[in-house]
Amino acid sequence: MQFGMTEEQSMIVETTRAFVEKELYPHEAEIERTGHLDMNVIRDVQKKAMEAGLYAANMPEEVGGAGLDTLTWLMYEKELGRANYALHWTGVARPSNILLAGTEEQKEKYLFPCMKGEKWDCLAMTEPDAGSDLRGMKATARQDGDDWILNGTKHFISHADIADFAICFMATGVEDTPRGPKKKITAFFVDKGTPGFEVRNGYGNVSHRGYTNAVLEFDDCRLPSSAILGEVDKGFEVANTWLGATRLQVAATCLGRAERALQHSIEYAAERKQFGQQIGKFQGISFKLADMALELKAANLLTWEAGWKFDQGTVTESDMSMAKLKATEMLAFVADEAIQIHGGMGLMDELPLERIWRDARVERIWEGTSEIQRHIISREMLRAVGG
């Protein structure tokens, strides 16, 4: 494994960082103040991202993407992670890789419009009674001739308010397994405006202002069989195949935010004076900086290793869980220490630190809680010895 960046990777990192600082940072304060995304701003950012070759960079070249390998893509995500999440997700959108699992007709209807910035997608799995336990979902789809009838509720569905369609995972039956009955899951494309499908406002939240969540209601929502993504009862297989790197994406964006917080802290510690000297000369501050840098580097290495192994085809669930767990918990630590170094100023909205601190909290919950990641890691260790 090489620890240095290639020339191409360096160029992508530099280009993305410059774009984030020039095109995204100036809009952060307004979004934080209002919690609202100005779609005129988003369309302007979107246009500039396309011109810079940064839009939909996660997708393969054959569908119009940048064709980045996983490791390079994570470096790109890290730079985007420096900015307000809602701003970089919508303005420099990355259509979900799961769209690649569609048929040619589905790609024409859903994937390619997303690649062109004409549509946005969203994923609907979580329910009020089924968060970490997705097999416990109660929303159902039953077959009725050539159609399927969907009923139930999804919630915490990110950016569903601006999405043009949702990829919804519904229970479509039960199968017997050695560990007892388990629900079969099927994925469906559901267009906004379909009768029986309603998108309602979700909950106010402390993290990622402007990045909204919604409640999806299905009331005898009728869909044709052509709306199925993948195969009937094979929804988890589709998700596991095409959504595997999302934990690494979370890890990478956490690295970017932590690096930004650390840099602010280093500069402040070098400039701020108390008791006749720079506060960075006091061990109470300098040791904090050292610990922040240590934790950040450890998270970086775990994330880059997992990305590299993903490209080699040798990555394990544990590798990805370790990266996600370490990076999200590292960000919480670094953000908190950054505010402590800055004192009262760290909590003022003149700096991005209070935002980074607030945003850090959700990272240990979505895409699998810290407890779920620890379960995955320990389960893999125990299975290796027959446990």
Q: At what angle do helices 70-80 and 283-312 cross, to 10 degrees?
A: 140
Torsion of CA 384, 182, 152, 131, to 10 degrees: -20
Query: pLDDT per residue over 173-220, tens digit each?
Result: 988 877 788 889 999 999 999 999 999 999 988 889 888 899 999 999
Residues in the chain, overall count: 387
Q: What is the mean pLDDT of the chain?
A: 93
- CA dihedral (28, 30, 32, 35) positive or negative: negative
pLDDT of residue 1: 62
Which tens digits make up the pLDDT trace of 75-132?
Answer: 999 999 999 999 988 888 788 989 999 999 999 999 999 999 999 999 999 999 877 6
What's the pLDDT tens digit per position in 306-330? 999 999 999 999 999 999 999 999 9
87-101, 223-237, 254-268, 332-346: segment of lowest average pLDDT: 87-101
Average pLDDT for residues 9-37, to the nearest whole number? 94
pTM for this entry: 0.92
Angstrom distance (rounded) from CA 55 to CA 367: 23
Diameter of the chain by CA atoms? Answer: 81
Q: Which residue of the set 32, 329, 354, 367 is catalytic?
A: 367
CA-closest candidate to residue 201, choices 27, 367, 366, 36: 36
Neighbouring CB atoms inside 10 A of 109's CB total: 17
Listed in sequence order, the residues at least 6 apart from 152 whose beta carbon sits closer than 8 Å to its beta carbon are: 127, 137, 138, 139, 140, 170, 218
Residue 283 has pLDDT above 90, yes or no: yes
367 among known catalytic residues: yes
What percentage of the chain has pLDDT greater than the value 90? 78
